Structure 1
Amino acid sequence: MGTEKAAKEDDPGMIFFFREGAVVFWNVEEKSMKNIMHVLEQHEIQPYEVALVHWENEEINYRIGEGQSKLHKGEILLNSELDSDEVVLQKFAFSNALCLSVKLAIWESLLDNFVESIQSIPEILKSGRKVKLSHADVMQKIGELFALRHRINLSSDLLITPDFYWDREKLEELYDKTCQFLNINRRVKVMNEKLQHCMDLTDLMRNHLNEKHTLRLEWMIVILITIEVLFELARVVF
């Protein structure tokens, strides 16, 4: 959508809203940005922490000039000869990549918090101490990991180029270049490696708890057999 509250007069203000829960502003004055964010906050579903939202954002400078539109040395150049429709599409391509980067940054923060919550477990296991987690706690941890992995690899566009760009090669090039600049592919790879390590650790905890449960059942069976034998001996003797 457009806005009359542009920060600079040489380019109309523009705002892109994405289903991932991100919004990208182009040449919008700060007061208008804050007002729009305030309106969006009233319609949030399962919002993230305010500090996290303000911390995990992306900013890229842009200018309008001669030559093909591109991202060069951390700055976006928009071709001054483009018509209004082409400008909107190119801004959308850049915004799309920025949106993915912000969403990925949020998930990176969530994963870091998860890693912090389980980082003491390897040392506890190494020292032979008891892990103070129930089977339900471990299953909850596994569920959190699977949910995060599903969002990253299945329900987002982080691993594939969206269908929108299949017949728009120029826009796809702008989108891909911006994704490369923001290191999205490498960050996704690192996140999946961290997720795999966390999955291995939670599987280890689950197996450990299952073994303890199995051992407890075996001892109960041994005790019951022993009691039965004692009753039989008592009946024979007395």
Structure 2
Amino acid sequence: MPSTVSEHPASQVSRSPLGGQRTTARAFFVAERLNTSGLERSDVLATTPLAFRVNENGVAILFRYGVVVLIGLNALEEEEFLRGLQSRMITPFARREEESATIELASEKDDQIPPGGPIYLQSLSPERLILVGEALAKSVVLARHEREVAAVFDTTEPFARELAKSGQIHRSRGAILKHIGNALSVRHRVSGPVEVSEKPDILWDKPQLERLYARLEDEYELKERSESLNRKLAVIAETAQVLTDIIDTRRSLRLELIIVFLILFEVLITIYQLATGRHV
């Protein structure tokens, strides 16, 4: 696995890019994709994901699946940085998802995340900050997808209730097709380029930080939320299939009725011809 940390001298790589003992990390899910090509610079901290210094004490971590994590910046600096990225946002969202965490330097402790407390790190090294960014990025993506899937379930419930009550759906074909389209669209977006269960690339170079990332995974329940989302996506796929089958059944029934009417019409014509003595 190729190295993801920029090839700087060890003293530069391990040195914290932040100035204080306590800082805030914020993740913004801004677009479906983010074009990071051409953003490489001399002060780069890592290449996968792309991480570099911002101003004097800030760090930006960019993920191609549309998430920007900013560490050590104030609100005005965050907005200014995001505005500068707008031309690189592919299909930006009208409403962006956000998630934040407090990071605190605790050199006398192991890396740990107490319940309801900040993320304590032995050092504010770029590697540790990138792992925090990885966890926040995946969490903010899951949050948006959870909301989208919940919206699909809200529209699915009336269909299911109507089907359970009467054994059929009294909705127009257009309404059913629209629901199928919404369900498949959400399924496609959620099954996109974010692999929550994948190990961050930086751990291949820094395996000693695997315990920290495991704690971050537990804190944000990444695996559990991903599994829950996959189960809901399976239900959405089954629902879309059921609705498609209903449309096919309606179409088949309509064709059968047309054929029956045509046969009946031909029989009536034949009877009329026999009755009037005019044979073809």
**Class of the TM-score when normalised by the shorter of the 2 chains:** 0.7 to 0.9
The RMSD of aligned alpha carbons is 2.3
2:120 to 58, 77, 86: 77
Query: How far is the alpha carbon of 1:142 from its aligned partner?
Result: 4.6
The runs of 5 or more residues in structure 2 that have no matched partner are 1-51
Higher deviation after alignment, 106-115 or 158-167 = 158-167
TM-score by length of 1: 0.82
- Is the CA contact (8 Å cut-off) linking 2:104 and 2:120 kept in structure 1? yes
2:101 corresponds to:
60
The match for 2:170 among 130, 139, 149 is: 130
What residue is the counterpart of 1:237 in the other structure?
275
Residue pair 2:101, 2:118 contacting (<8 A) in 1 also: yes
Contact 1:142 1:199 in 2 (8 A): yes
Q: Distance in 2 between matches of 1:187 and 1:23?
A: 21
SS state at 1:171 partner: helix
In structure 2, the CA distance between the partners of 1:174 and 1:144, relative to structure 1 (3 Å rule), is same
Shift of 1:121: 1.1
SS at match of 2:153: helix
Paired amino acid for 1:76: I
Residue deviations 1:17-70, cap 9 Å, x none? 1112111122212221121122223432222233xx2xx322221122323551
Task: Please state how far the C-alpha of 1:79 moved relative to its aligned partner.
Answer: 2.5
Which one of 183, 190, 204 corresponds to residue 228 of structure 2?
190
**Pairwise CA distance, 1:114:** 1.8
Structure with more strand by fraction: 2
CA distance in 2, matches of 1:60, 1:17: 17
From the superposition, tell whether residues 109 and 170 of structure 1 become closer, same or farther in structure 2 (CA, over 3 Å).
same
1:18 equivalenced with 2:63 (yes/no)? yes
TM-score, structure 2 normalization: 0.70
Contact 1:70 1:174 in 2 (8 A): yes
Name the counterpart of 1:9. Answer: none
Q: Which residue of 1 aligns with 2:130?
A: 92
In 2, the alpha carbon distance for the partners of 1:110 and 1:208 equals 24
Cα offset for 1:116? 2.0
What's 1:48 paired with?
93
The structure carrying a bigger helix percent of its residues is 1
For residue 216 of structure 1, give the secondary structure of its aligned residue in structure 2.
helix
Are 1:39 and 2:77 matched, yes or no? no
Residues 1:141 and 1:64: Cα distance change in structure 2 (over 3 Å): closer
How many residue pairs get matched? Answer: 220
Q: Against the structure 1 CA distance between its residues 166 and 4, is the aligned structure 2 distance closer, same or farther, given a 3 Å change threshold? A: closer
Q: Is the 8 A contact 2:187 2:236 kept in 1?
A: no
Q: Is the Cα–Cα contact under 8 Å of residues 90 and 171 in structure 1 kept in the other structure? A: yes
Q: Deviations for 1:125-167, whole angstroms, at most 9, x for unmatched residues?
A: 234350234364354245324414522xxx2221222344234
Structure 1 residues 213, 138: closer, same or farther in 2, change over 3 A? Answer: farther
Q: Structure 1: which amino acid aligns with 2:154?
A: E
Deviations 1:178-199 (A, max 9, x none): 1211011111121122222222
The answer on whether the counterparts of 1:124 and 1:131 sit within 8 Å (CA) in structure 2 is no
Query: In structure 2, what is the Cα distance between the partners aligned to 1:32 and 1:163?
Result: 28
